[in-house]
């Protein structure tokens, strides 16, 4: 069978097909803008990891044309946008392109991640849709084709396929291995203001940073945080100009007990804090319950995944 495509359809037609996927928040521990392409896109060097916070995608079979239903705390934020513009539907259409697929069924997106917040929720949803519908439709799409489809959906989508720590290059689509990460904890805080990615790129000072250099592994969160503190998120300063509340969030995180590092993710406004363990991050989050400024903030605490969060039984 060498060199032949696998037959379409699940390997074992009697095996139950999981009808849900989790789409985890992508966190840029570092983000250096290293250059600019002729088309205006910025070239990045970023260490991306995944948090426990996630959207959920579920599929309910039906004979009706493929549809999207939005639920969850941030579902309403997306409800005003055209369904066909949602990355879930765009991902489904691209996956089906050139294949014999009946595009039917209901996709339910439980939107738990704040929208336009620097944690790639839309990209994570797109990648989760590719994994989910590839399985449901029994397509067995080869990994390189899935990567190509993901890149067409957005530069952040490929890293969200495997949901594992990775170094992102190019505009995000070039993936290489991350250092081996220690077990550690992370708090995520979003002040509630959506921040426009193009606006942040436009607002940045026109200088470039060198690519980061990393060790092969970090033994613990303290060592990792010390190394990361020497690096930057180059979008943090311009994002703070656009959304000053980010500064308040960053100083609040930095002042939490046992916080090792506080920084913004992506183009903002979500910021993260690193801790020695998930429990330390949860304890720090509890400390915020008596802070009135934090009353309206979206706050999540838990582990930083050192391995892939995508089901290991899948090929990606
Ligand atoms: C900044 C990052 C870091 O991971 O994360 P988020 O803040 O989105 O989570 C990503 O590079 C976001 O990539 P992506 O999500 O694909 O960006 P898009 O919204 O498609 O880009 C919107 C606009 O931002 C500018 N843009 C985006 C990416 C890039 N590398 N250079 C750019 O100059 C372009 O003007 C583009 O038209
Ligand atoms: N499923 C989705 N979830 C979030 N945003 C989506 C989705 N589909 C399309 N979008 C569009 O993508 C934009 C960026 O969303 P998002 O991925 O949440 O940003 P970020 O990468 O900054 O966290 C939103 O403003 C929205 O218009």
Tell me: the pLDDT tens digits for 163-184? Answer: 999 999 999 999 999 999 999 9
Is residue 123 part of an annotated ligand binding site? yes
Q: What does the alpha-carbon distance between residue 83 and residue 70 come to, in Å, rounded to a whole number?
A: 10
Is residue 138 part of an annotated ligand binding site? no
DSSP 131-145: HHHHHHTT----HHH
Among 197, 204, 236, say which to mutate for ligand 1: greatest number of ligand atoms within 8 Å of CB: 197
Task: Tell me the per-residue pLDDT of 102-122, one tens digit each, with 9 for 90 and over.
Answer: 999 999 999 999 999 999 999
Residue 5 has pLDDT above 90, yes or no: no
Q: What is the dihedral of CA 292, 294, 297, 303, to 10 degrees?
A: -140
Q: Catalytic residues, which ones?
A: 26, 156
CA of 287 to the centre of ligand 2 (A): 30
Domain ranges for the chain, please list them: 20-176, 179-305
Q: Are 241 and 264 in contact (CB under 8 A)?
A: no
Per-residue confidence (pLDDT) for residue 206, from 0 to 100: 85
* Residue 3 CB burial class (10 angstroms; 0-12, 13-18, ≥19): exposed
The band of 15, judged by pLDDT with boundaries at 50, 70 and 90, is: low
Task: Tell me the per-residue pLDDT of 118-160, one tens digit each, with 9 for 90 and over.
Answer: 999 999 999 999 999 999 999 999 999 999 999 999 999 999 9
Region 189-198 average pLDDT: 96
Closest CA to 27 of 312, 301, 266: 266
Q: Whose CA is nearest to atom 17 of ligand 2?
A: 122
CATH classification (class only), 20-176: alpha beta
Q: Whose CA is nearest to atom 19 of ligand 2?
A: 116
Q: Are 267 and 118 in contact (CB under 8 A)?
A: yes
Q: What does the alpha-carbon distance between residue 235 and residue 225 come to, in Å, rounded to a whole number?
A: 19
Task: Tell me the per-residue pLDDT of 84-102, one tens digit each, with 9 for 90 and over.
Answer: 999 999 999 999 999 999 9
Pick the CATH number of 179-305 from 3.30.70.890, 3.40.190.10, 3.40.50.880, 3.40.50.970: 3.30.70.890
Q: What does the alpha-carbon distance between residue 223 and residue 15 come to, in Å, rounded to a whole number?
A: 45
Is residue 117 part of an annotated ligand binding site? yes
């Amino acid at each position: 069978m060498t060199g032949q495509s696998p037959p379409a359809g699940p390997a074992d037609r009697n095996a139950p097909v999981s009808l849900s996927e989790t789409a985890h928040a992508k966190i840029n521990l570092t983000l250096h803008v290293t250059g600019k392409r002729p088309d205006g896109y910025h070239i990045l060097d970023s260490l991306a990891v995944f948090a426990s916070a996630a959207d959920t995608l579920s599929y309910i079979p039906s004979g009706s044309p493929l549809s999207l239903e939005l639920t969850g705390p941030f579902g309403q934020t997306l409800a005003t946008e055209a369904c066909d513009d949602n990355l879930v539907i765009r991902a489904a259409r691209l996956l089906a392109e050139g294949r014999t697929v009946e595009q039917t069924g209901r996709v339910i997106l439980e939107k738990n991640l704040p929208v336009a917040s620097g944690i790639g929720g839309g990209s994570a949803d797109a990648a989760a849709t590719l994994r989910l519908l590839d399985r449901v439709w029994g397509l067995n799409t080869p990994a390189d084709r899935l990567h190509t489809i993901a890149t067409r959906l957005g530069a952040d989508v490929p890293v969200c396929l495997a949901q594992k720590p990775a170094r992102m290059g190019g505009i995000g689509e070039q993936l290489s291995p991350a250092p081996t990460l220690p077990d550690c904890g992370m708090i995520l805080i979003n002040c509630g203001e959506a921040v426009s990615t193009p606006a942040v790129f436009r607002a940045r000072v026109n200088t470039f940073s060198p690519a980061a250099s990393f060790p092969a592994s970090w033994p613990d969160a303290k060592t990792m945080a010390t190394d990361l503190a020497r690096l930057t998120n180059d979008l943090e300063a311009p994002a703070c100009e656009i959304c000053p509340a980010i500064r308040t969030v960053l100083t609040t995180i930095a002042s939490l007990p046992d916080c090792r590092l506080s920084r913004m993710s992506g183009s903002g406004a979500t910021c993260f804090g690193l801790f020695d363990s998930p429990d330390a991050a949860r304890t720090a989050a509890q400390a915020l319950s008596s802070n009135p400024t934090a009353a309206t903030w979206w706050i999540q605490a838990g582990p930083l995944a050192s391995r892939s969060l995508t089901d290991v039984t899948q090929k990606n």
